Every structure is written in C-alpha cells, then in structure tokens.
Structure 1
C-alpha cells in the first residue's frame, strides 16, 4: 500500500492525460503565468509535518516563478474541505497540497461535491513522511519480531495508537497486522503527537505513526523505535531497521505530501510548477531542512505522480473494503 520507492515511481510509464478543458478556462488565458501570488491550500493544521514542508519549499518555488506563495490552512472533513476549495477554483492561481487522505477519502466519504479522480491534476509527489513502529519503554520487545511474538501471545490485548481513524498510520497498521497475522487494538488519536504522548506515559503499548511525531518521545528516552515503514533505512534514523528487512519483504507504508492543481490546469503550468518543485527540493539547504523535520525529499514527475495516485486509490479501496474501515 502507498508505495513510495523511488525505483517504482521512476519505472512508471504511460501517457499523462491532462484535462483539455484547461485551455477553455479564461483564468488561464494570461500572456504570462503566474500573474499574481499563488494560493496554496493545505487541508491540515498549521505547524504539522505537511504544513511545515510546504512552508520550507514554497519560498524557493516562488523565487523561480517570480510570484510568492500564500499558504492557507483549510482543515476539516478529512481534508475534503480544502480539496473542495481547489476543485471548484477558477482563478488560475489556487492549488492543493494534499496527503494520503487524497487517495483514501473516495472510499470513505459519501456525498462529496467533487470526484477526487477527475477534479485534480497531479503535479508532484513532493515528500514522504516515513512511518514507524515504536513501543513504550517497558514493553517486552526490542525487535519487530519480538513485538509480533508478543502480540500473538496476547491476541487482542496489545494497544497501538495512530494519528487517527482512516489515516496513513491506521491503514499502515491494518496492512502490517494482516501481513504479520496479529490482532491488536487500534487506538485512534487526533494527531500523531497526541498518540506519542500517551505512548510515553505508558497509556498505550505502541504506535504506528510518523517518525516526526514519535521522534521527540524516543529522543527523550521515553519510548523506542522498532522499525520504519520505508523500503530503505531513513537518513535521519539510520540505526532503525525497516519493516521490509525485518521479514516483511516489500512492505512500504508511509504518509506523504503532494502538489495538485485543479483539473483545468494547463500542461504548460504543470511543467512550470514541476520544474520549480524539482529545483527547490534539490537545493542542499532546503533538502537539509526537510530531512531535519522528518521528510524524505521526492519531487517526482507529473507522470509518476499520476500513476502513484491512481494505483494508491485502487489499493486503498481494496484495503478499506476488506478491512471494513469506516470514517468516524
């Protein structure tokens, strides 16, 4: 699920179909684009990992494009409120910075006023936020194998917190539990930091959330990492093994942030934004700041991101259905 390996993304092939109505929207009929500030809707709270990454990257993008970015947080309804704002925009300067909810919401939310599959133009998978399994200090496991053994010894007794119902953490936990053949108790929180705090206090046994959320309590000596959900070890935590190398080959489950335009975005604008993103993420100082806040820089092509979104949406539909996951 949510495969983020660079090799897989770069291997993606096929044509990238942009919506032809783009050229019919008068908002795009500019002699030069952009002609004013670019509005970037982030459907998550200010200060979180996705929001922080956007604020690191967009100033450099603005320098290349000749116009600044205004980052606007529009939270609510699992990110669909912010998504809807962009889906119905027609000013030629409003874009979306979305995450895994983009590929999960279509299977969970009913009555949406837009279709995620047709309302947006994928531009780039910008960064990944590695997931991680961490346990409280007195939990009797030092490795992922020992964690699985402990869960099998007490079916339905081990409590695992995530950043919320139907989030990347929840879906990653479900996928891992199915692969490992274990039954655990899912404890949803309103954010990964809240789950990590309860882990540190001993209120729950473990978490399946992002490295950036669990990192502070691990660094404070109040919990410990067992594994990360990426295919290769993470630059900021090279000592933590992957789930993939711990006996679950190919397991790759992480949060991410990507850049989308409305469906009417012209190909020329997609190319401009993609080039600006690629340049910004490749800049050493920006890359260093992204790594410091727990990101893995990606900056994929529009073609690869289009494939990633489509395949991810299909995979999530299957997982949500088979695991009987429901929105709150």
Structure 2
C-alpha cells in the first residue's frame, strides 16, 4: 500500500510546475499590430477587441497601425518580433492571398507566424444600381453574359476580398467584365450609387444601409449563410453556385515559435472578447460574424485557404498593379 501511494503521488508533485507552464501571462504591455491604415475592417476589429482582451490578459493592449504594401509591412514587423506573446497581429484575407502575388518578401507567410484564432468573418454583398435590370443572380448572369467585355465592376482595390469575390463569381459563371480597382471601398460604392459601374461586392457594414435605403439593390451575399440584416437576400451558393463562399475575415497571429501556453492564453482572450455583450452588439451592427476558432483548427484552415487563394489568383489572372 505504501508503494502504491508513493506511485500515485508522483504525478501530483509535478502538477504545480505543469500548471505554471500552462498558465502563461504577459509581463508587460502588448502590441496588437494592425497592418493596415486606421478605419478599415482590421483596425475596427483590433480596436473593438483590444479592451476586453486586455482585461482578460491583465495587461494593456496597444493597437499599432503599420499599413502599406497590402499588409506585408506590418506583417514583416510581427515576423521579426520575439515569440514571447507580447507582439501579435490581426490580419485579413490578404494574409493568404499575398504569398501568391508578392515576390521578394523578407519573410515567408507560411513559416513566419503562429496562427492563434480566426476571429470573425465579414460577409460581402453583391450590390447593383437600382436601374440594373436584374433582381436575382440568374438575371444578373444572363444580363452580363449578353454583353461580354462591355460592363465594368468595382472593388476596394486589386487583390482585395471584394476583387477576389468578384473574380471567383465571374470565373464560375464564365463572365467577361472589366475590373476597376479603387483606393478603398467607399469610392467604389460612390461610383456604384452614381451608376458608373455595374456591381460591387461590399461588406455588410458599408452596404447594408445603402440597400435598406434603396440606393443600391442587393442581389446575393458571399457567405455560406444569409446575413441577419438582409434575411431576404439569398447567398450566391443558394442561387446555383454550390460551394461558393468568399468573405473578408480577420485572424490573430503571433510570430513563429510562440509557446503553446501563450497561444492558448491568447485564444482565451479572443473568446472572452467575443463573448462581451458590447462587442457582440457592435459586431451585429457591423454585420460581422464572430468565430473565435481554436488554434489547431485555424492552423489547418490557413494553409488550405492559402492554397485556395493561389488557385483563384491563377484562374482569374489576378496580379498586383
């Protein structure tokens, strides 16, 4: 009996040390890098979540905008940071698109980061001017197909989520249109409202009010399920394009080599922030869908999405202009 008790006690002796190893906590303020200019989706998400995450972690979280070169400048800064959990980054879909478009980067997107969690998804809406004759996707496709190369569409920029969502739809439907990249979503929407382009994929946050006011017409949404603000508007997949889905999304990353304990703690911070009532209310108003996926799930998703984006870039002939 004595030997049995001693044997049972050995694992218990290791528990305090094991618990300390698993309970990583930041020792100083934290840099949350947003590799884009203020005011966009990434910046909005970072600033919305920073407060609740700071409360969970017990340290100040400072959002730093490091914009430029499609997010790669800020990403390079995070890639160089120490993997001690004190520097992390909120990035967008571009994180999985840039490797297929950019050459000569000082880091490898596939190896330079530790995926922590896919935070949220921003569904996009295919919207047209009210004078556009189509009222559903079948009518849209028929109208465009009868006018090959004659109509143009806008996006928030070359190789952005709006551009890629459009390129994917055109490729799946076999349509020929002229792409007009703008310096952001706002000027693209302005030209759509003015009737200068045929359609735009806009985020729910930027397009919902325009659709509700009748200044644009919503044809389809890019997500796998309908959005609460426009429940009557079906998805692209529901309208004959099975499996279609291309949203803007935001994920949290650290530098490569982050300790599992730090990754787990940061995932807890994401989940805590997304459970905050004020955060959820704001995300609902913006049309964002909270996720907070587990690190292992996100780590599997990122390379799969990178491969999907590389195939789309090749298929649609997307280049950096």
**More displaced 10-residue stretch of structure 1: 274-283 or 143-152:** 274-283
Quote the residue 1:9 is aligned against: none
Matches within 5 A, 1:292-307: 292-307=285-300
Quote the residue 1:90 is aligned against: 82
Quote the residue 1:257 is aligned against: 250
Matches within 5 A, 1:213-232: 213-232=206-225
Q: Pick from 145, 159, 162 the counterpart of residue 152 of structure 1.
A: 145
| Residue 316 of structure 1: how far off its partner (Å) | 1.3
| Residue 237 of structure 1: how far off its partner (Å) | 2.2
Matches within 5 A, 1:33-182: 33-90=25-82, 92=84, 93-182=86-175
RMSD: 1.7
Quote the residue 2:11 is aligned against: none
C-alpha contact (below 8 Å) 2:227/2:287 kept by paired residues: no
1-structure distance, mates of 2:257, 2:154: 39
Work out the number of aligned pairs and report it: 300
C-alpha contact (below 8 Å) 2:123/2:248 kept by paired residues: yes
C-alpha contact (below 8 Å) 1:49/1:293 kept by paired residues: no
C-alpha contact (below 8 Å) 2:83/2:256 kept by paired residues: no
Deviations 1:158-188 (A, max 9, x none): 2111111011111111111111121111111
2-structure distance, mates of 1:193, 1:130: 16
- Identify if the C-alpha distance between structure 1 residues 135 and 32 changes in structure 2 by more than 3 Å, giving closer, same or farther: closer
Per the normalisation by structure 2, the TM-score is: 0.90
1-structure distance, mates of 2:51, 2:199: 37
| Residue 36 of structure 1: how far off its partner (Å) | 1.2
Alignment pair present for 1:267 and 2:260 = yes
Quote the residue 2:229 is aligned against: 236
3-state SS of the aligned residue for 1:138?
coil
Q: Which has the larger radius of gyration?
A: 2
| Residue 307 of structure 1: how far off its partner (Å) | 1.1
- Structure 2: unaligned runs, 5 residues or longer: 1-20
**More displaced 10-residue stretch of structure 1: 309-318 or 203-212:** 203-212
1-structure distance, mates of 2:266, 2:228: 27
C-alpha contact (below 8 Å) 1:196/1:217 kept by paired residues: no
2-structure distance, mates of 1:178, 1:322: 8
| Residue 32 of structure 1: how far off its partner (Å) | 5.5
User: Which gives a bigger RCO, structure 1 or 2 (Cα 8 Å, sep 6+)?
Assistant: 1
- Structure 1: unaligned runs, 5 residues or longer: 1-28
Structure 1: 4+ residue segments shifted above 4 A: none
| Residue 120 of structure 1: how far off its partner (Å) | 0.1
Matches within 5 A, 1:199-210: 199-210=192-203
2-structure distance, mates of 1:264, 1:105: 21
Quote the residue 1:5 is aligned against: none
C-alpha contact (below 8 Å) 1:120/1:261 kept by paired residues: yes
3-state SS of the aligned residue for 2:235?
coil
2-structure distance, mates of 1:322, 1:286: 38
3-state SS of the aligned residue for 1:250?
coil
| Residue 91 of structure 1: how far off its partner (Å) | 7.0
Deviations 1:179-213 (A, max 9, x none): 11211111111111221111111111110232222
| Residue 260 of structure 1: how far off its partner (Å) | 0.2
Quote the residue 2:6 is aligned against: none
